[in-house]
Amino acid sequence: MRAISRLCTGLLLLVVATPAFADAPHWVLYTHPEKTMSVRFPGPPTESDQEAPSPIGNVHFKMAMYADEAHAFVAAAVNYPVKDMTFNVKKALDGARDQMVANIKGKVTSEKPVTLDGLQGREVRFEASGTGSQAIHGIARLFATATPPQAFIISAMRMNDKPDPDAKKFLDSIHLGKKVETK
């Protein structure tokens, strides 16, 4: 009799809890094609080839993005075609920050140094005008290395003033270099 009672209680909990799990994101591992970066998105990301201006000319890179009506998650790895000149990590981080904020016509609200998998970087909080009266709030983690010359831009943006626990989970899932997760 006790076993039947536990079974019924378990089934009841399953039925009650199922709607809560239905809205939970299905986190998907994304590994950059060159295995330089990995990150977990709250849904399947879309990968695209992009181009952006830089002091050494236009750079080409792969970008992965997942977006819905409330937020957007972006990860990009840039390999710089620098051969005969010194790659300046500080300038690369400055340029990545400035280009990212310029692309959304935003402004930096805070910035602090961070380290991940042995790489120095920055965490940049920013905001921009959204649609209507809503503002876009975001956090980006930017990393760069001189050997080989690369930059990594990982950003979580929300289209409202509410805290976004998925942003922290996304940003905390990043791995670079030898720590990259593969499928």
Q: In this predicted structure, what is the pLDDT of residue 25?
A: 65
Q: Are 156 and 138 in contact (CB under 8 A)?
A: yes
CB 141 within 8 A of CB 123: yes
In order along the chain (183 residues), what is the average pLDDT of each group of 10 residues? 39 38 73 94 95 78 92 91 76 90 92 93 92 85 90 92 87 93 84
Q: Is residue 120 part of a domain?
A: yes
Are the C-beta atoms of residues 36 and 150 closer than 8 Å to each other? Answer: yes
Question: Nearest CA to 89 among 118, 109, 48?
Answer: 118
SS3 category, 40: strand
- Going by C-alpha positions, the residue among 53, 100, 76 that lies closest to residue 174 is 76
The pLDDT, as a whole number, for residue 23 is 54
Residue 4 inside a domain? The answer is no
Identify whether 53 is preceded by a cis peptide bond (ω within 30 of 0): no
Answer whether residue 128 is part of any domain.
yes
Residue 71 in any domain: the answer is yes
pLDDT score at 20: 42
pTM over 0.85: no
Q: Which are the contacts of 99, defined by CB distance < 8 A and separation ≥ 6?
A: 52, 53, 54
Report angle CA 165, 170, 176 to the nearest 5 degrees: 150
Nearest to residue 95, comparing CAs of 136, 142, 128?
Answer: 142
Q: Tally the domains of the chain.
A: 1
d(CA 152, CA 157): 16
Domain residue limits at 106: 25-179
Q: Is residue 52 part of a domain?
A: yes
CATH number at residue 111: 3.40.1000.10
With respect to residue 50, please indicate whether it lies within any of the assigned structural domains.
Answer: yes
Which H or E run contains 11? helix 2-22
In 3D space, the residue among 87, 92, 91 whose CA is nearest the CA of residue 76 turns out to be: 92
Residue 78: closest CA among 150, 141, 147, 21: 150
95 assigned to some structural domain: yes
